Amino acid sequence: MKLSFSAPTTEQFQFEITGSKSISNRYLILNALFPNLELKGLSNSDDTRVLQKALAKPLQESKEIDIHHAGTAMRFLTAYVSAIPGAEVILTGSERMQERPIGILVEALRDLGASIAYVKNEGFPPLKITGKSLQKESISIPADVSSQYISALMLIAPSFNNGLTIRLESKVTSKPYLKMTAQALASVGVDVHFEDTSITVHPKTEIQPTQISVESDWSSVSYFYSCLALMQAGSMEISTFYRDSLQGDSKVAEFYALLGIKTKFNRESIQLSKVDDFKLPQKIELDLNDTPDLAQTIAVSCLGLGIGCYLTGLHTLKVKETDRLVALKTEIKKFGAEVTITDESLHLNPSSGLNSDVRIKTYQDHRMAMAFAPLAIKTDLEILNPEVVSKSFPDFWENMKVLGIQ
Ligand SMILES: O=C(O)C1=C[C@@H](OP(=O)(O)O)[C@@H](O)[C@H](O)C1
Ligand SMILES: C=C(OP(=O)(O)O)C(=O)O
């Protein structure tokens, strides 16, 4: 898809983004445990739809479930199916999903008594899971590879007779996602104690009828911040967002303040505008250990603005939809900028001018497409396989059109 920018007729934009995929997928598992939960504003992303579909019929009737590219669906279902007596399911996913590690979660579940076998490669999906009642009361788990393994255990823990204490070994990655899981559990009345290195979830068999409205997706909104940072002028009102968000990626508001974007919180929306006479820094430095999904957006914004960045805490990026560090380096270089990476960091030097008519490969990664699209405001470019955005944000291209990116 070739992209170019023509200044839109208005400078004031309004957008409505659907529910956070991370929050949606947590509540879908909770809804499977507690049927009298009513969910509103679920995400329309592929990742939420595959999980909804998997949970639409009793898992005892499913033989094989394919969750495509959805990391949360893969990890959450592995735990959920393991704890359902009578279920016998092969859980599989896309080619890339079969390269994304799951051994740490499988080991933890086996320690709790689960029966899980690897169908192809040790440590990776597909998995053959025979559901059982799991009853051990505590478990230790490495926390530095993916927080999703821990969220998966937390979500099924209320169904254990005595609940579950999860001890976190090593430095915790993506911690706000664990807080999100804890808050989702608490919101339906499950008692959760979250300490620095351990999480205890108490048992719960039934909840009061509860209605939940899912907040919109802060990771999706990061691309609007990036567009506004690259535009000459403009303001945006985007709903539905709250000041007290469950999502760690709401940090994007603080990060883009460094690039001259002001965020005002209304009752149910955010108002983004450009700070008058803002002087851009030469370089920004950020630790993204808590917010890995923002790395691509921020790196590309800095590229578009011609400033440098030093992003750290990125050690999990290599096991996401693609090796995001390598993908970023390869694609950024096409614009003529200097960029270096290590196993956990990315260093972009300030640059003057961008090569035009670059073709961006997206590597089956929605965030590669969405992170690079705003650059069209600065130079014509092409995004290959633009349809990948549907993993988290199917309406992405329609929204970009409104902003003048065609
Ligand atoms: O729990 C979640 O909803 C997520 C946790 C993060 O993954 P890791 O914990 O693997 O970093 C994040 O990157 C992903 O997009 C969603
Ligand atoms: C890493 C992501 O998702 P997941 O791990 O759930 O596939 C993402 O959405 O950027």
Ligand 2 mean position, distance from CA 278 (Å): 33
Nearest alpha-carbon partner for 261 in 280, 285, 286, 238: 280
pLDDT of residue 60: 86
Structure tokens at 224: 């609007």
**∠ Cα 298 142 34 (to 5°):** 85
Distance between CA atoms of residues 283 and 220, nearest Å:
24
Is 247 a member of any domain?
no
Based on the domain organization, do 315 and 393 belong to the same domain?
A: yes
Based on the domain organization, do 138 and 181 belong to the same domain?
A: yes
Based on the domain organization, do 397 and 299 belong to the same domain?
A: yes
Nearest alpha-carbon partner for 77 in 43, 114, 45: 114
Ligand 2 and 70: CB distance under 6 A: yes
| DSSP secondary structure letter of residue 356 | S
Based on the domain organization, do 43 and 176 belong to the same domain?
A: yes
Based on the domain organization, do 132 and 220 belong to the same domain?
A: no
pLDDT of residue 9: 84
Which single residue is written with the structure tokens 């927080």? 147
DSSP characters over 223-236: HHHHHHHHSSS-EE
Q: At what angle do helices 71-82 and 46-55 cross, to 10 degrees?
A: 20
Please check whether residue 127 is in contact with residue 105, taking contact to mean a CB–CB distance below 8 angstroms: no
**Residue 244 designated active-site:** no
Is 269 a member of any domain?
no
H helices, E strands: number in the chain:
12, 21
Please check whether residue 33 is in contact with residue 158, taking contact to mean a CB–CB distance below 8 angstroms: yes
pLDDT of residue 93: 98
Instruction: Tell me how far apart the terminal alpha carbons of the chain are, to the nearest angstrom.
Output: 9
- The residue from 46, 217, 290, 293 that is catalytic is 293
pLDDT of residue 10: 87
Based on the domain organization, do 301 and 368 belong to the same domain?
A: yes
The domain boundary residue, chosen from 160, 182, 213: 213
Based on the domain organization, do 50 and 157 belong to the same domain?
A: yes
Based on the domain organization, do 224 and 207 belong to the same domain?
A: no
**ipTM of model over 0.90:** yes
Domain CATH for 208: 3.65.10.10
Based on the domain organization, do 35 and 180 belong to the same domain?
A: yes
Please check whether residue 364 is in contact with residue 191, taking contact to mean a CB–CB distance below 8 angstroms: no
Nearest alpha-carbon partner for 195 in 172, 216, 212: 172
Distance between CA atoms of residues 161 and 136, nearest Å:
9
Q: How far is CA 222 from the centre of its chain?
A: 12
pLDDT of residue 4: 87
pLDDT of residue 370: 98
Is 354 a member of any domain?
yes
Based on the domain organization, do 171 and 199 belong to the same domain?
A: yes
Distance between CA atoms of residues 247 and 54, nearest Å:
25
Ligand 1 and 301: CB distance under 6 A: no
Distance between CA atoms of residues 297 and 369, nearest Å:
10
Distance between CA atoms of residues 357 and 378, nearest Å:
11
Ligand 2 and 399: CB distance under 6 A: no
Is 175 a member of any domain?
yes
The amino acid present at 98, given as its one-letter code, is Q
Mean pLDDT by 10 residues, the chain (406 residues): 88 95 98 96 98 93 95 98 96 98 98 98 98 94 97 98 96 97 98 96 96 97 98 95 93 98 96 96 98 98 98 97 98 97 98 94 98 97 97 97 94
Based on the domain organization, do 203 and 56 belong to the same domain?
A: yes
Which atom of ligand 1 is least distant from the CA of 219? Answer: 15
Q: Quick check: bond before 58 cis, omega within 30?
A: no
- Structural domain total, the chain: 2
Host domain of residue 291: 2-10+216-229+281-402
pLDDT of residue 204: 97
pLDDT of residue 11: 87
